[in-house]
Amino acid sequence: MNYKNICPNKGYFYPLLFILALAFTACTQSQSRNTGAKSYTKDYSKTKVFGEMVAELTAPPHVPPPVGNRPAMKLYMEMEITEEEMEMADGVSYLFWTFGGTVPGSFIRARVGDEVEFKIKNHPDNKLPHNIDLHAVTGQGGGAEASFVAPGHEKTFSFKLINPGLYVYHCATAPVGMHIANGMYGLILVEPEGGLPPVDKEFYVMQGDFYTEGRFGEPGLQPFDMQKAYDERPDYVVFNGSVNGLSGENALQAKAGETIRIFFGNGGPNLASSFHVIGEIFDKVYVDGGDQINSNVGTTLVPAGGAAILEFKADVPSNLVLVDHSIFRAFNKGALGILSVTGEENEKIFAGEIMEGIYLPEGSTIQKMPKDGNVVSPPVTMTKSELIDTGKKIYMQACFACHQANGEGVANAFPPLANADYLNADVNRSIDVLLHGLSGEITVNGKKYNSIMPSQQLKDEEVAAVLTYVYNSWGNNGSEVTPEMVNKRRKK
């Protein structure tokens, strides 16, 4: 046909194509090196299975043993759904709906290519029908329809795992939000061929937000509050089903030097998690639980219904703090857990406190507080002895640290106030020092001092009191300083 017309520059075209292809190959190669991706194009739907076994499911924070090098197999697993009252926080309980009796539900571990026969059992005492939607499953509703089961019944369905990764599963029975809000979620890990690289410790942690009639900490059995759930105003944001889910006796344990892998999921129902471990850096994050690996990450975002695999080495002994770095959730709603790392200190990595010093910002004006022009303090008239009494208290708070209890000061650093010629020579100068601070070289009782005294944030009465106290102690000249005198100097 008109082939020649369409492609008139045929001579140039082929080399160009070749270069393009080369560039493309190079590009994809480097990409796969960066991400460690090697499996996303492979079709596992036809992977043969060899043999069968009953899969072990574990309660959080534990995970079943790795798949290692085993071939794809036929796996049998069972999960019981319960509706039971459990602890949400100290003195607070909640009617949780669970997969396997825990929140989050039992951890499922399998290998890509595995064929799973899954039995779901709805306890006869339960009031509601339930089901399971596994995000790792390809098929109608992730199995939700096939697993829909009335109380006192069980259902078996099967599926083949054709995508590796870490996935959330959850209940998807109407009202879906309520079933998830009551704790019906968990994680299923589908390991790639050959398994994930070995590490020393693996943990299973999941975040969830809860909506209760009573506010955070209000004791007793707290009913679910549908309105708050709708408004996305949780009272609790917790790891592993309760405020104490990962602290106290539930704290995760590891030894310094161990490599740690956390399978982290977010059940929601509403909030995305800004997951962070205080005192560590993730060496690796399998972003969204998929093939892409990010390195050297501080905080990673995990959406509701999403998951991530986090790896790091616990280099030094410390209490690592797991938080949702949307930080009010951590300190006010419970999203805080502990990974306790014990073992030998490594001062090359973390030396701890080396020294403590007193921090004195330069210049006298830095520490001035903004003036509040509207506040009028009532005039207080104090006798000299009252001034001395009050002044002593102020001295012990404001001056004592440097000038010492008996005004002796600290040699070469802080000048003495006891029997001090510099002090006794000029009352107004003393007032100015308190109001505005003092820096530069001065001579007191024949010794030179070159240091900084910051201005003191004291009221006129307080300056008067503390100076009167000082002038009437330790052999000084007994001057009396009144608030009026201070006020006069302040206005200069």
Partner 1 sequence: MRKLILLMAGFFLISNASAQNNQMALIEGGNYTPLYGVGEQSETAVGDFYLDKLPVTYADFQEFVRNHSKWQKSNVTKLFADSRYLSNWENDLKAPANLMDKPVTMVSWFAAKAYCECQGKRLPTVDEWEYAAMASTSKRDSRSDSLYNVSILRSYEQPKTYMKTVGNSEANYWGVQDMHGMVWEWTQDFNSIILTGESRNNGNTDAGLFCAAGAIGAKDMMNYAAFMRFAMRSSLKANFSLTTLGFRCAKDAGPQNQLTFK
Nearest CB to partner 1, comparing residues 101 and 151: 151
Nearest CB to partner 1, comparing residues 175 and 361: 175
Nearest CB to partner 1, comparing residues 224 and 474: 224
Query: In the structure, how many helices (H) and strands (E) does the chain have?
Result: 11, 23
How far apart (Å, rounded) are the C-alpha atoms in residues 217 and 236? 9
- Residue in 127, 26, 108 with CA at minimum distance from that of residue 67: 108
Minimum distance from residue 152 beta carbon to partner 1 (Å): 5
Minimum distance from residue 93 beta carbon to partner 1 (Å): 12
Minimum distance from residue 130 beta carbon to partner 1 (Å): 8
Minimum distance from residue 88 beta carbon to partner 1 (Å): 14
Minimum distance from residue 380 beta carbon to partner 1 (Å): 56
Minimum distance from residue 136 beta carbon to partner 1 (Å): 17
Nearest CB to partner 1, comparing residues 85 and 200: 85
How far apart (Å, rounded) are the C-alpha atoms in residues 422 and 451? 15
Question: Which residues contribute to the annotated binding site for Cu cation?
Answer: 130, 135, 170-171, 179, 184, 325
249 DSSP assignment: G
Those residues with Cβ within 8 angstroms of residue 95's Cβ, 6 or more apart along the chain or in another chain: 83, 84, 85, 182, 221, 223, 224
Is residue 415 within 8 A of residue 422, CB to CB? The reply is yes
Cβ-based burial of 214 (10 A; exposed 0-12, middle 13-18, buried ≥19): middle
Backbone torsions φ then ψ of 273, nearest 5 degrees: -105, 135
Q: What DSSP line would sit under 430-463, residue for residue?
A: HHHHHHH-EEEEEEETTEEEEEEEPPP---HHHH
Please give the helix or strand (H or E) that residue 425 lies within, else none: helix 421-425
Minimum distance from residue 228 beta carbon to partner 1 (Å): 11
Distance of CA 98 to the CA centre of its chain: 25
Nearest CB to partner 1, comparing residues 125 and 386: 125
Minimum distance from residue 218 beta carbon to partner 1 (Å): 16
C-alpha triplet 481, 486, 487: angle, nearest 5°: 140
How far apart (Å, rounded) are the C-alpha atoms in residues 381 and 305? 68
Quickly tell me which residue has 């602890």 as its tokens.
87
How far apart (Å, rounded) are the C-alpha atoms in residues 383 and 377? 18
Nearest CB to partner 1, comparing residues 145 and 386: 145
What is the three-class DSSP state of 357? coil
How far apart (Å, rounded) are the C-alpha atoms in residues 333 and 336? 9
Nearest CB to partner 1, comparing residues 131 and 473: 131
What is the three-class DSSP state of 212? strand
Nearest CB to partner 1, comparing residues 83 and 202: 83
Minimum distance from residue 190 beta carbon to partner 1 (Å): 22
Binding stretches for partner 1 (CB under 8 A):
83-85, 95, 124-129, 131, 140-141, 144-153, 172-176, 178, 223-224, 226-227, 230-231
Question: Which residues contribute to the annotated binding site?
Answer: 130, 135, 170-171, 179, 184, 325
Question: Which residues are bridge partners to 238 per DSSP?
Answer: 208
For the chain, the distance separating the N- and C-terminal CA atoms, rounded to the nearest angstrom, is: 100
Is residue 366 within 8 A of residue 341, CB to CB? The reply is no
Nearest CB to partner 1, comparing residues 56 and 84: 84
